[in-house]
Amino acid sequence: MVLVDQNPMPVRHVVVSDCSGWIRVKLWGQEACEATLGQRIEICNAWCFQRDGSLWLSVGRKSRLTFGTQP
C-alpha cells in the first residue's frame, strides 16, 4: 500500500511475458488486487520507465487492463 492523495492504494509488482520476452509491471489500485498467476493481461496506454537498468511498465489512471484466462 502507498498513500495517494492521503488515501491508501494497493500497488503490486508483477512480471508479464510473451514469446518476445518479459517485463516488470507496476499495477495500481484494483488491478493490483485482481492480477493472478497465469492470467492473460492486455495492457493499453501504460508508460515505460527505467529503474536500476531494467525497463518497467506502469499502469496508471489513464491505462486500461483487460484480464482473461490463457487459451
Contact 65, 58 (CB under 8 A): no
Q: In a 3-state reduction of DSSP, which class is residue 5?
A: coil
CB-CB contact of 45 with 38 (8 Å): no
Amino acid at residue number 16: V
Q: Output the pLDDT for position 70.
A: 65
CA–CA distance, 59 with 62 (Å, rounded to integer) = 8
User: What is the C-alpha end-to-end distance of the chain, expressed in Å?
Assistant: 32
Architecture per CATH, 2-64: Beta Barrel (2.40)
Per-domain residue ranges for the chain?
Answer: 2-64
- With residue 41 as reference, give the H or E element that holds it: strand 40-44
Per-residue pLDDT of the chain (71 residues; tens, 9 = 90+): 777 788 888 888 889 888 999 999 988 888 888 888 888 888 999 889 998 998 999 887 788 888 887 66
